[in-house]
């Protein structure tokens, strides 16, 4: 990977800056921050998912800072301009396991001079890291808001909730053979499939972001009855893929028209170019390592040490109404509210948003977060 300076101010909203923070669990972390002008402000730590960047929080950082917070969003391990992680498929996979990602967040908190964060806020896979931060260090993360990915609690000692080989065989045996996207993301070819795809990274990301947004008419999410091949195959093909298509081919079949691209105000071509430029440079393997840790259960035994432990700090869930992420793991949305988070203050499904809720509907997300933060004090 080429080491670059921090993201240019020209690419960021006024009031947001980019800088590097070295010495974070072996990383030099690029952060975006707002509300940094006055020391002593309470901290909000924002953690992105895949295929995103700290830049994914750009639309809500300034409004949160205007409410009196120091708002910090890092490029997480494996992403963007953060360096010090192993980019190779056959490299240090264990460094991407969940407890080490949580260690990254704790280390950044310390390096920024804060003894605690008022809240940790995560989206997509970043929601998992946020949840583990709140579960393991409630003294340092005093509240939690997660988006698009419910947290159902630590794995039980005998947990087999994730799909087994049997469901993969059953998906492949369907009349229309299928495969699960997380297991596809764990394969060796996945990075090159996207990085070197015929349409180019920019167009690939345009198709991917659109297909998981409220702009794509195929998103009509609902609770799944169970983890069976027939049931999970009702999800769109960006989750349960056609067996013989890769992800770039999957989203290419649903590319928006030039008119639709021009009309997309929540992700303009200039904004998308920031993502495209970073992923052309780094590839996708850093983010895909997170999936490999999950599907391969890398060091999962250390997570099972916390079986039965709950998140007891004030908690909030936000997702778009058109987001399948809420339901992709049957029962997780209900377990989060009923069992895993004892301090749950609300679960909100936002109109006019799909998976990228904080980008598609930033005003609504900001309002929900600020109301939650006031009530959590």
Whether residue 326 is predicted with pLDDT greater than 60 in this model: the reply is yes
Residue 98 DSSP label: H
pLDDT tens-digit readout, 293-315: 999 888 888 999 999 999 999 99
Where are the domain boundaries for CATH 3.40.50.1820 in the chain? 9-156+306-376
pLDDT of 2 over the 70 cut: no
* Contact yes or no for 196/279 (Cβ under 8 A): no
DSSP state of 256: P
Average pLDDT taken over every residue of the chain:
96
d(CA 29, CA 84): 9
Q: What is the pLDDT of residue 298?
A: 80
pLDDT at 162: 54
The pLDDT of residue 241 is 98
Read off the pLDDT of residues 225-267 as tens digits, 9 standing for 90 and up. 999 999 999 999 999 999 999 999 999 999 999 999 999 999 9
Instruction: Kindly state which CATH superfamily the domain 9-156+306-376 is placed in.
Output: Alpha/Beta hydrolase fold, catalytic domain (3.40.50.1820)
Asked if residue 117 has pLDDT above 80, the reply is yes
Express each pLDDT in 13-58 by its tens digit: 999 999 999 999 999 999 999 999 999 999 999 999 999 999 999 9
Q: What per-residue confidence (pLDDT) applies to 212?
A: 98
- Percentage, residues of the chain above pLDDT 90: 94
> Does 3 have pLDDT greater than 80?
no
Residue that has been written with the tokens 């933060």 in this structure: 373
Strands 43-47 and 119-123: parallel
Q: Do 174 and 167 meet the contact criterion of CB atoms below 8 Å apart?
A: no
Q: Annotated catalytic sites, by residue? A: 124, 355
Location of structure tokens 């939690």: 144
């Amino acid at each position: 990977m080429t080491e670059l300076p921090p993201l240019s101010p020209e690419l960021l909203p006024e009031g947001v800056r980019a800088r590097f923070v070295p010495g974070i669990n072996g990383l030099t972390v690029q952060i975006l921050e707002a509300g940094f002008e006055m020391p002593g402000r309470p901290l909000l730590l924002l953690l992105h998912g895949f295929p995103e960047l700290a830049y994914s929080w750009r639309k809500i950082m300034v409004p949160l800072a205007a409410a009196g917070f120091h708002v910090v969003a890092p490029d997480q391990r494996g992403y963007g301009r953060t360096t010090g992680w192993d980019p190779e498929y056959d490299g240090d996979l264990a460094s991407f396991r969940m407890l080490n990602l949580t260690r990254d967040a704790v280390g950044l908190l310390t390096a920024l001079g804060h003894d605690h964060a008022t809240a940790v806020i995560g989206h997509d896979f970043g929601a998992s890291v946020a949840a583990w931060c709140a579960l393991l260090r409630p003294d340092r993360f005093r509240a939690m808001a997660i988006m698009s990915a419910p947290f159902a609690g630590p794995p039980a000692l005998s947990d087999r909730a994730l799909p087994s080989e049997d469901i993969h065989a059953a998906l492949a045996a369907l009349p229309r053979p299928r495969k699960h996207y997380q297991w596809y993301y764990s394969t060796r070819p996945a990075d090159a499939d996207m990085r070197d795809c015929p349409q180019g990274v920019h167009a690939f990301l345009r198709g991917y972001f659109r297909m998981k947004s409220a702009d794509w008419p195929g998103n009509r999410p609902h609770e799944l009855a169970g983890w069976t091949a027939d049931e999970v195959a009702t999800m769109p093909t960006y989750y349960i893929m056609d067996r013989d298509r890769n992800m770039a081919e999957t989203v290419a079949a649903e590319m928006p028209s030039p008119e639709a691209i021009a009309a997309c105000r929540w992700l303009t071509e200039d904004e998308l170019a920031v993502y495209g430029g970073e992923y052309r440079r780094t590839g996708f393997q850093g983010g895909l390592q997170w999936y490999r840790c999950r599907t391969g259960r890398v060091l999962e035994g250390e997570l099972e040490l916390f079986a039965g432990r709950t998140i007891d700090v004030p908690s909030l869930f936000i997702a778009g109404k058109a987001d399948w992420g809420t339901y992709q793991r049957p029962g997780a949305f209900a377990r989060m509210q009923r069992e895993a988070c004892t301090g749950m203050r609300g679960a909100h499904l936002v109109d006019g948003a799909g998976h990228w809720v904080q980008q598609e509907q930033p005003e609504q997300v900001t309002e929900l977060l600020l109301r939650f933060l006031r009530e959590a004090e």
